[in-house]
Amino acid sequence: MPQQFNPVKLFPGSGSVDLAAKIAKAYGRELGDVVISRFSDGEFQPSFNESVRGCDVFLIQSTNQPYDNLMELLLLTDAAKRASAHYITVVVPYFGMARQDRKDKPRVAIGAKLIANLITAAGANRIMTMDLHAAQIQGFFDIPVDHLDASVIFVPYIKSLKLPNLTIASPDMGGSYRARTFAKFFNAEVVICDKRRKRANEIESMSIIGDVKDRDIVLIDDICDTAGTLAKAADLIMQNGASSVRAVCTHPVLSGKAYDTVENSVLTELIVTDTIPLKQDSSKIRVLSTAELFSKAIANVNQHGSISDLFRVE
């Protein structure tokens, strides 16, 4: 007798509606019916307009700013649990607060661990996310974590550019492991930009470790926030004789004057995914979709298949 799987229902949070619609289309079904009721003081209450009893429920919402996105995800999770969903997976393409993953100075919170606790306490059975700022955040959860890798999306695109002298670069020392991992797909050399910060989002100085002369440089990072680091690194790389420089960043946070910074930089292009919707258009920003990858991961979770099969880069 063939194995029977629980019915799947996909629901979007209001901050990730477009991506959720793409994931649902790639999966081959419609999004579920969910409504967010709002009170005049700003309080809101999500509710499902269809039964989820006995279903494998996937709630799709990035937890970027504002914090309403996180609170909405928690309330959706609680609602699904109280409505007798069989299994609840929160699909968090961008896991906010991930930069607060340790005590780097006295008397600070570890925000990433707190969010992990809240998601688990709300009733999630599993979390699916992509390119955490630090891979060890997976250990903050006491539920299964599917940590998807955006390199399977970026590598084919970079290969299609056919760059003659490709070299991979990290914009800081902390991203060196990520850059080396990426470089293995191309058999490429790695250079590192060593930066010193005055404070968060403000760079004091930067230098390059490695040779970039006559090279086509691709900077690799997980988050592009103000774009200041990428712009400064790109400037320094071009000043040292590179032929071209572009950047790959999974999560386009792009806060403050980031769009102007990218437009006015020497970057040929900034390649990002749709884990966070762009706030405005930019001639230098190219968006690659994560929908197909997330839809395959959702199918594999529902059918008890392998997630590691999705890490194969072609």
Residues identified as active-site: 195
* Alpha carbon of residue 309 to chain centroid: 19
Residue in 265, 253, 260, 250 with CA at minimum distance from that of residue 282: 260
Question: Which amino acid, one-letter code, is at 104?
Answer: D
Question: Which amino acid, one-letter code, is at 308?
Answer: S
Residue in 251, 311, 279 with CA at minimum distance from that of residue 97: 251
Q: Give CA–CA dist 25/142, Å, rounded.
A: 31
Backbone angles phi, psi at 102, to 5 degrees: -165, 170
Of the chain, the end-to-end C-alpha distance in Å amounts to 35
For tokens 């040292």, the residue is 240
Which residues, other chains included, contact 187 with Cβ-Cβ below 8 Å and sequence gap of 6+?
A: none
Which residues, other chains included, contact 238 with Cβ-Cβ below 8 Å and sequence gap of 6+?
A: 245, 266
Q: Structure tokens of 184?
A: 């293995």
SS3 57: strand
- The β-bridge partners of 245 are 217
Q: Give CA–CA dist 145/126, Å, rounded.
A: 6
DSSP assignment of 89-113 equals EEEESS-TTTT--S-SSTT---HHH
Q: Give CA–CA dist 204/159, Å, rounded.
A: 34
